[in-house]
Amino acid sequence: MRSPNSPDSVAEEPEGPDSSAARPRTRRSVVLLVLVLGLLTATGPLATDMYLPAFPQITEDLGTVEAQVQLTLTSMMLGLSLGQLIIGPMSDALGRRRPLLVGIAVFTVTSVLCVFVPNVTVFVVLRFIQGMAGAAGAVIARAVVRDLFRGDEAVRFFSRLALVMMLAPLLAPLLGAQLLLVGPWQLSFWVLAAMAALSFVVTLLWLPESLPVVERVRRGPRELAVTVGRLVRQPRFMSPVLTLGLSFGMLFTYVSAFSFVSQQEFGASPQTYAWLFAVNSLAMMAGTQFNGLLVGRVETLRRLGSGLSLALSAVVALMVLSLLGAATLWSAVGLLAVMMFSVGFIMPNATVTALDGQPVAVAGTASALMGSLQFAMGGGVAALAGLTSTGEASLVSMSVVMAGAASLSGAAYVWLLRAKRTALAG
């Protein structure tokens, strides 16, 4: 018999009337769930990262400027933010599968339409719609984990999920760079459409419904506003959400700016940039898995605090080097790798801390609000790096914005600790 704390055990709970909501009880079923949810959550990173090496080519092909091309990334982040606010509550009312399948279908169609954009304005609009549809994978995957797992068990599952999910940012720029050797930038969107179609089939065949009918809650606009308002007023929820969102802003500033910085400031080729991006993605994957090894040995908030401290140290060092004009491509990549390693600690621990105290009935709404704020802050913070005299992001502007976001994320963590102490004292 496995002990309750065994990594491969899953706590038994009474099943609801919907037998498809039963929790996975075997190693094989857990692995299959990891693979399916990993494919779903990888859709967002694939959509954001695969075309990054082609930014200079897209700028030239559409006859526009860098800032406009970066808006295609920001608009997708805003679409992801708004889409989660819509799809999350919808999944609380209708179950997880139906909204997910519709979202994947729309994402597939918009991926194909992006191939034929006549100008950057249409591109920006399509990317916004694509982001709204792609939100289904992100918000519902988190809600499914919340439906099925609790506490350290959820952290352990998120760490396993991240191992699959992180292959997307690792491989996407490499794939995008190699596609540029054989065809135009539009080829990346054909590949993205094919991946989305595969996700639809996998979800249809292998992802069971995780929310029993008896636990589904239909909320009108007023009830939804009350639920969101209740969540916003909870420090135990909002403090880790802000910690996560600001850290994502730090991460996304790097994602949106480093393609231009590496190729135009340091003279790297698209292929070199893609390999450097892959190395940093490996660092994030390593951080996530190391965090998983510490589950059960180091408490969640300590793991979160360690990640935040390491991230702040790395980006402040990068900011100092860039301001002094002493940064090289390799020193920048090294410090960014340390930052990415720390993000592997921050994201799973902040996510579980925010969702763990919420009842299943509001898991979709809570996940949606968290994801919405995460992507809104990510897109908003990253856009600050382009507010320079030339309108182009630089290593200095990128590192300054990242250091600011890391500092504010640390402040949100301090608020979390105070909220926890207050709750314990009460």
Cα angle 228, 342, 82 (rounded to 5 degrees) comes to: 30
Q: Does any domain span residue 215?
A: no
Q: Which stretch, 42-51, 190-199, 217-226, has highest mean pLDDT?
A: 190-199
Contact (Cβ atoms closer than 8 angstroms) between residue 176 and residue 240: no
* % of the chain exceeding 90 in pLDDT: 38
Q: Does any domain span residue 19?
A: no
Q: Identify the residue with better confidence: 150 or 316.
A: 316
Using DSSP, state whether 96 is helix, strand or coil. Answer: coil
pLDDT in tens, 358-395: 776 777 778 778 878 887 888 788 888 877 777 678 99
Print the domain residue range for 105: 25-206+223-425
Q: Does any domain span residue 5?
A: no
Q: Does any domain span residue 1?
A: no
Tokens representing residue 280 in the block: 């940093």
Q: Does any domain span residue 214?
A: no
Query: Among residues 195, 164, 133, 159, which one has the least CA distance to residue 37?
Result: 164
Query: What whole-number distance in Å separates Cα of residue 112 and Cα of residue 109?
Result: 5
pTM for the predicted model, two decimal places: 0.72
Measure CA of the first residue to CA of the last residue in the chain; give whole Å: 39
| CATH code assigned at 346 | 1.20.1250.20
Q: Does any domain span residue 119?
A: yes
170, burial (CB in 10 Å: exposed 0-12, middle 13-18, buried 19+): buried
* Residue 269 per-residue DSSP state: -
Contact (Cβ atoms closer than 8 angstroms) between residue 173 and residue 53: yes
Q: Does any domain span residue 269?
A: yes
pLDDT band per the 50, 70, 90 thresholds, residue 2: very low
The count of structural domains within the chain is 1
Query: Among residues 63, 95, 48, which one has the least CA distance to residue 281?
Result: 48
